[in-house]
Structures are given as structure tokens and as C-alpha cells.
Amino acid sequence: MWAILCIGPLLIGATQVEAHVVLDKKSAPAGSYFWGAFRVGHGCEGSATVAITVNLPEGVRGAKPMPKAGWTIERKLEKLAKPYDSHGKPVTEEVTAITWRGGPLPDDFFDEFAIQMQLPAAPGPIWFKVLQRCEKGENNWATIPESGTSTRGIKTPAALLELTPVSAPAAQQKSPPDEHKH
């Protein structure tokens, strides 16, 4: 009985952490091409989710959303101050936000919204601010800790992805033939 009383609060805490909008992966190599899904664990105080907007942090390139049945997709594009080259073509604007509209996704269910992108080259944390709109109300998952990466005690934290350094030996290894690299 005593063990159940001790474990109970831990299980409740774990459930609360997973209720936020989070990425399915916690880390990725800096500068890599990354596919990640933003998990939406609930609606807005019982109201069904009807739109999810993921705001991309500075330095993310070439973001492409994955279509979802029953949802439309909008991409916000902004002109770049400094264009870059991708596959021999100049890139003069970049996707800065992606919005899925549709559903509705009932409060009792969860879903994932996936994006493929190239990550910034510098290691360290990057934060994705996510706006969740519901039939009634919204959750703005946009709070970033003042220091560090702990979101403990933050009611509406942004989604964190930790960019890890690329080790020299791993960077020099050849990619498997079926892996798509840019």
C-alpha cells in the first residue's frame, strides 16, 4: 500500500508532462535533416482542437508539413535578408510557420502533426512555439524558460528540441544507400 501511495504522485506528474504539446523526439544532430511530430495530447479545457500552428525557430530551413486527412495546411512565408542556395537553386523566402486546420480532434484523443526540416547548425536547445486553437478557447504553448531547458512549473511550455554536436567520425561516415541526404 505504501508503495502505491509513493508511486501515485509520480504517475500523475508524468501524465501532466505529456499533456503539453511536445515533439516525439527529444534531440537531433545540429544541421541535420529532421522529421519530427508534434504530439497534441488534449484539447482546451474539454473543447476539441480545430487548428495547430507551429512557429519555426530561426535557422530552420526547408520546412515541409505532412498532410493529414481532414485537415488543410497553410504555410507562412517570409523574405530572407540573406538568400541561400539549395540544390543549385537560390532560396529567397522561408517557411516560418505551419498551420493545420480541420478535425475536430476531440479532447479525449491525441494526434501528431509532422514536419520535415533542416535544423540549425549550432548545437543547443531550440524552441518551437505552438498555438492550439479549439472550438472554444486556445492554448498558446509558447513559454520558454528564463534559463536552462527545464519546463517544470511552466503551465504552457514551448516544445523543446535539443540539437546535439555532430562528432567528426560520424560526420565522415557514409550514409546508407536508402537514406536521403541533402
Is 6 among the domain residues? Answer: no
CATH number at residue 127: 2.60.40.2230
Q: What is the DSSP string of 78-110?
A: EEEEEEEEETTEEEEEEEEEEEEEEEEE-TT--
Please give the helix or strand (H or E) that residue 170 lies within, else none. Answer: helix 168-172
Residue 4 inside a domain? The answer is no
pLDDT in tens, 27-61: 999 999 999 999 999 999 999 999 999 999 999 99
What does the pLDDT read at residue 11? 37
What's the whole-number average pLDDT of the chain? 86
Q: How confident is residue 167, by pLDDT bands cut at 50, 70 and 90?
A: confident
Q: What DSSP element (H or E) covers 156?
A: none
On whether residue 67 sits in a domain, the answer given is: yes
Tally of CB atoms within 10 A around 11 = 10
The answer to whether residue 50 sits within a structural domain is yes
**C-alpha grid cell, residue 93:** 523566402
- Give domain status of residue 178, yes or no: no
The answer to the question of residue 180 being in a domain is no
79 occurs within a structural domain: yes
- Per-residue model confidence as pLDDT tens digits over 77-110: 999 999 998 889 999 999 999 999 999 999 999 9
Q: Identify whether the C-beta of residue 58 lies closer than 8 Å to the C-beta of residue 17.
A: no
Rounded CA-CA distance 44/132 in Å is 8
Domain that holds residue 127: 21-145
Query: How many separate domains does the chain show?
Result: 1
